[in-house]
Amino acid sequence: MTDTMPGTTTDREMKRALWRGWRRRCPNCGEGAMMDGYLAVNDACPHCGEALHHHRADDGPPYLTLLIVGHIVGPAMLWGYIAYEPTPLVFIAVFGLASILMSLWFLPRLKGFLVAMQWATRMGGFGRADPAA
């Protein structure tokens, strides 16, 4: 099974692209940085020149971040409260900090993941032929 659309000439391997996106690397070459800073996506890969400005990640990365962090922290809060019965200040400090740190870690990785998924499936402008070619 290939990851191509009808009428396209090259394959784009989904698993490799997703792994590269998770690592915040160009989904095409895996060498160049996808991100310019924390969340801004480069217009093109600095290594291979692949256009990345077509992405439309929009609200997907924050939604997925909230979904994942909520499913980890929620049960952990219940377990921590029952097991240790912490004071409210300790409870808020521990789980608030855990939520913030996990969100900050997941958000750019999930954005890279979604941009790579769009690239691999040729969503949006990623499926069009390059007019300069």
pLDDT at 35 over 70: yes
In this structure, the dihedral spanned by the alpha carbons of residues 97, 102, 105 and 108, taken in order and rounded to 10 degrees, is -120
**pLDDT tens by residue, 38-70:** 999 999 999 999 999 989 989 999 999 999 999
Which residue has 């971040």 as its token pair?
Answer: 65
Burial (CB < 10 A; 0-12, 13-18, 19+), residue 97, is exposed
Q: What is the pLDDT of residue 80?
A: 97
Q: What is the pLDDT of residue 4?
A: 43
Tell me the whole-structure pTM to 2 decimals.
Answer: 0.84
Distance (Å, rounded) from C-alpha 86 to C-alpha 18?
A: 40
Burial (CB < 10 A; 0-12, 13-18, 19+), residue 78, is exposed
Q: What is the DSSP string of 73-122?
A: HHHHHHHHHHHH---HHHHHHHHHHHHHHHHHHHHHHHHHHHHHHHHHTT
pLDDT at 9 over 70: no
